[in-house]
Amino acid sequence: MTKNWRGQLRVGSIIKETPTVKTIRLQPASGERFLPFTFVPGQFLNVAFWIGGGRMNRSYSISSSPNQREYLDLTVRREPRGAVSRHIVDLLREGDLIEAGGPVGTFTFTGKEADSIVLISGGVGITPMVSISRYLTEQSWPGDIYFIYVCRTPADYILAEEIAELERRNPKLHVTITMTRAEGADWKGPRGHLTEELLTESVPELTSRRIHLCGPIPMMDATKALLAEMGVPKEQVKTEAFGTPKPTPAPAGTTAKPSAEAAGPLVTFSKNNKSAKIHAGQTVLELSEDLGIGIQFSCRVGTCGVCKVKMTEGEVDQEVQDSLDDDDKASGIILACQAKPKTPVTVEA
Ligand SMILES: Cc1cc2nc3c(=O)[nH]c(=O)nc-3n(C[C@H](O)[C@H](O)[C@H](O)COP(=O)(O)OP(=O)(O)OC[C@H]3O[C@@H](n4cnc5c(N)ncnc54)[C@H](O)[C@@H]3O)c2cc1C
Ligand code: FES
């Protein structure tokens, strides 16, 4: 697997999946045959666009299989008021170059980690599960794959034909799809949200299996609670959140809000020569936005690593550190979106 690759990729083709979802097929930018990096199924890319004069970073899981070395697919849902997803779905054209970095992420499964896998997803959280299912099928992996997808209506079922084709080819792939809002639609399968009954019917001996879970935050919270009630040990459940709504940061170099009345430790942004006390519960990223420092970010939940900064002084608490490796930690790199200072802190930003 390649680490820390950054560069450009070319949009090779665009496939309309549902009324609001498109797959963007990305190829090498410069005429080479193969992608400049390899990845593990379940990983994602960080992409950046200049929109309205500002640089915006977002993360998208790779939905294609890593066995496919000539291209990779990102499958993106258009959020009604989303800055970047609308740009991708409405404006990207074949031949466009996009800035990307990665591959990133530890929400991966290659078949070596367990002898069966339960993949539970909702909405656009299906994308890493499709990459994993494609890869395991191509490898003729001998384990059982329980693919469970919670979707609103049949029209919103992303990559439906692909899943049906994989199911035909792989007798070890057991697919369960439930529709939460299928009223009036021609749907013969299960309806409603995920329940204990549906999970028990779909996955024998659920409590002994490794489970991957990805979807909208309320669906993930409800599923985690359900799995706990059913007796699944917490350490068997791997999750990935696709982020939270983001406040719009102030453009670099401007001050959006004064940070008066803050009583927490002093934070110094050494490259910008600015310091301010932090509010209780505030992260270094949020304070940097108040001060117009311009630290880049994408997920704001500790997964993507876009907000990494070097801390040259001080101590911070970080609830999630998924995107920091041992080298990062040894050299003082922190995640600005997670870092809550415990002492006065200086960061190189
Ligand atoms: C690891 C990871 C993997 C991901 N993989 C995928 C993937 O495979 N496919 C995919 O589609 N997404 C994926 N995402 C989510 C993706 O990164 C973006 O968060 C998503 O596309 C929304 O970005 P945006 O710029 O369009 O929305 P933003 O502008 O960031 O807005 C975020 C949300 O707030 C809402 N919103 C924005 N402005 C307003 C407003 N003024 N009032 C009310 N609501 C508002 C938007 O509708 C949207 O739902 C992934 C995220 C992570 C962290
Ligand atoms: S913004 Fe993704 S890890 Fe901080």
Q: In the chain, which residues have pLDDT < 70?
A: 1-3, 243-260
**For the CA of 59, the nearest atom of ligand 2:** 2
Query: For residue 273, how far is its CA from the centre of ligand 1 (angstroms)?
Result: 32
Q: How many CA atoms lie within 13 A of 274 on its CB side?
A: 19
d(C-alpha 192, C-alpha 158), whole Å:
17
**For the CA of 88, the nearest atom of ligand 1:** 26
Closest C-alpha residue for ligand 1 atom 43:
81
Query: For residue 125, how far is its CA from the centre of ligand 1 (angstroms)?
Result: 12
275 forms beta bridges with 268
- Mention every residue, 6+ apart, whose C-beta is less than 8 A from residue 326: none
Q: What is the pLDDT of residue 3?
A: 66
> What is residue 55's three-state secondary structure?
strand
Q: Answer yes or no: are the C-beta atoms of 36 and 7 closer than 8 Å.
A: yes
The pair of structure tokens assigned to 128 is 């890493």
Query: For residue 38, how far is its CA from the centre of ligand 1 (angstroms)?
Result: 25
d(C-alpha 203, C-alpha 78), whole Å:
32
**For the CA of 85, the nearest atom of ligand 1:** 26
> Which ligand is nearest to the Cα of residue 322, counting in written order?
2
Q: What is the pLDDT of residue 258?
A: 47
Query: For residue 80, how far is its CA from the centre of ligand 1 (angstroms)?
Result: 10
Q: Answer yes or no: are the C-beta atoms of 85 and 120 closer than 8 Å.
A: no
Q: Which residue ranges have their beta carbon within 6 Å of ligand 1?
A: 44, 58-61, 75-77, 79-86, 124, 127, 240, 242-243, 245-246, 299, 303-304
Query: For residue 300, how far is its CA from the centre of ligand 2 (angstroms)?
Result: 4
What are 151-181's pLDDT values in tens digits?
999 999 999 999 999 999 999 999 999 999 9
Name the E strands within the chain.
5-18, 21-28, 44-51, 54-61, 72-77, 97-104, 116-122, 144-151, 173-179, 210-215, 237-241, 266-269, 274-277, 308-313, 316-318, 333-335, 339-341, 345-347
Q: What is the pLDDT of residue 146?
A: 98
Q: Among 16, 50, 55, 58, say which to mutate for ligand 1: greatest number of ligand atoms within 8 Å of CB.
A: 58
Q: What is the pLDDT of residue 248?
A: 47
Q: What is the reported pTM?
A: 0.89
The amino acid sitting at 59 is S
Q: Name the packing angle between helices 126-138 and 160-169 (round to 10°).
A: 30
**In order of start, what are the domains of the chain with their CATH numbers?**
5-104 (2.40.30.10), 116-241 (3.40.50.80), 266-347 (3.10.20.30)
Query: For residue 299, how far is its CA from the centre of ligand 1 (angstroms)?
Result: 9
Q: What is the pLDDT of residue 251?
A: 47
Q: Among 107, 286, 301, 347, say which to mutate for ligand 2: greatest number of ligand atoms within 8 Å of CB.
A: 301
Q: How many CA atoms lie within 13 A of 130 on its CB side?
A: 26
